[in-house]
Chains A and B, each alone.
Chain A
Amino acid sequence: LSATRFASRQAPSKDAVRQLCQECFSCPPARLGPLAQRACPAIAASPEEAAQLVAALRGLTRHVVFRGLTRAEDILALFPEDFHQNLKNLLTKIILENISAWRNEAQASQISLPRLVDMDWRVDIKTSSDTINRMAVPTCLLQLKIQEDAALCRNSPVVSALTVELSKETLDTMLEGLGRIRDQLSAVANK
């Protein structure tokens, strides 16, 4: 973890610092350059300093989230001895405010299999087919909206809809399986 010396002569507003922290945390490493350029005038004397600053802020926030630090003392301990006192307190406060949102963000962007984002179902009655003129057979249609791995799609995750048909027997069997999952989950939860 490398913290950088803020040019305290710049003194941006608290909100600006908050904003910057959030942007640095969420910024993918590859896009730190453009972020630094945008932030440069407000926070640092030169483009190189801005780049260092932005990278350091990202490193700091990500480190806190990675280690799961939740206490102010733990975060304060990360700063070097000679760090500007007010700024240190401000940054710690901002980080503590954002920790749980950032943690959720990290979890949401974790690698995973495609994720279920929505589901709908419908029951149809089949009344006729090429082999039987008249019948009344209920069938279930299930639509799953599935989002591909967020990490692979960066800004525009691909969501596909899959519609699946289940006969009554299939649905019964599926429910048996789901029931077993629920029982196992209860067993784990009660340990």
Chain B
Amino acid sequence: EQVERFLSQLADFAAANKISLGPLKNVVKSILLVPSGALKRNLSPEQVRADFVALGLSEEKASYFAEQWKLNAPTLTRLAVAQTLMINQLIDMEWKFGVTAGSSELEKVGSIFLQLKLVIKKGSEVENVYVELTLPQFYSFLHEMERAKTTLESFS
């Protein structure tokens, strides 16, 4: 849907400047190769400027582009990282807990249960996983996740 938005912006641009859309699309496609290559190779603004000049762009325009790159590269990098392949990405977690009052086998129980619903992205689909934990399991889970967070932070 982002692609469609971009294409419609292009169409508006073409109409506003009285250029035909077809050739504009080709030009833009080629231009986009430069920043995506720069992103991939983690190029500095200087290197981007040099690349554009080598491709035939004027000094002034290349410098302008390099400035834009300097401003936007961190955001672009972050977006690219966020798009990196993730296996069964956890996208949401819901929970509820309550007390089991009784059952067909035990008239009075009074045990606390915790139910988690994990929303997981599998490829392009979303799957819900329901899991029940006892209290000791919950505390153990919390403890382990805090350890994982500490580890993650030490590598950031």
Q: Do A and B bind each other?
A: yes
Chain A residues within 8 Å of B120, by CB? 162, 164
A sample of 14 more A-B contacts (CB under 8 A), given A171-B145, A184-B97, is A65-B106, A66-B105, A66-B106, A66-B107, A67-B107, A106-B105, A110-B106, A129-B84, A131-B40, A131-B83, A166-B89, A167-B82, A175-B146, A185-B97
Known: A116-B137, A126-B84, A171-B149. A138 touches B105 (CB 8 A): no
Residues on the A chain within 8 Å of B100, using CB: 110
Q: Which residue of A lies closest to B113 (CB)?
A: A112
| A-B residue pairs in contact (CB < 8 Å), sample of 30 | A65-B106, A67-B107, A106-B106, A107-B103, A107-B105, A110-B100, A112-B132, A116-B131, A121-B144, A121-B148, A123-B152, A129-B85, A131-B80, A131-B84, A132-B40, A132-B84, A133-B42, A140-B151, A142-B148, A144-B129, A144-B131, A164-B88, A164-B90, A168-B149, A170-B91, A173-B93, A175-B146, A175-B149, A178-B142, A178-B145
Q: Which residue of A lies closest to B118 (CB)?
A: A164
Known A116-B137, A119-B141, A129-B85: A140·B148 in contact at CB below 8 Å: yes
Complex CA gap A123/B148 in Å reads: 7
Majority-rule SS of A interface residues: mixed
**Would you call A139 an interface residue if the criterion is a C-beta within 8 Å of the partner chain's C-beta atoms?**
yes
Scan residues 135-153 of chain A and give those whose CB is less than 8 A from a CB of chain B.
135-142, 144, 146
Measured in the bound complex, the distance between the Cα atoms of B134 and A59 in whole Å is: 29
Chain A, 176-191, CB within 8 A of any chain B CB: 177-179, 181-182, 184-185, 188
The answer to the question of B64 belonging to the interface, with a C-beta cut-off of 8 Å to chain A, is no
Interface size for chain B: under 10, 10 to 19, 20 to 34, or 35 or more residues?
Answer: 35 or more
Residue of B at shortest CB range from A170? B90
User: A103 CA to B90 CA in the complex, in Å?
Assistant: 36
Residues of chain A lying within 8 A (CB to CB) of residue B95: 177, 181
Q: Which of chain A's residues have a CB closer than 8 A to the CB of B83? A: 131
B13 at the interface (CB under 8 A from A): no
User: Would you give the shortest CB distance from A157 to chain B, in whole angstroms?
Assistant: 14
Complexed CA–CA distance, A174 and B82 (Å): 18
Interface of chain B, main secondary structure: mixed
Nearest chain-A residue to B114 (Cβ)? A181
B32: CB under 8 A from chain A?
Answer: no
* A169 (CB) vs chain B CBs: closest residue: B82
Nearest Cβ distance between residue A16 and chain B, in whole angstroms? Answer: 26
Please, which residue of chain A has its CB at the minimum distance from the CB of B95?
A: A181
Q: Is A1 an interface residue (CB 8 A)?
A: no
Q: Is B55 an interface residue (CB 8 A)?
A: no
A114 to B145, CA, bound (A): 21
- Give the complex CA separation of A67 and B133 in angstroms: 25
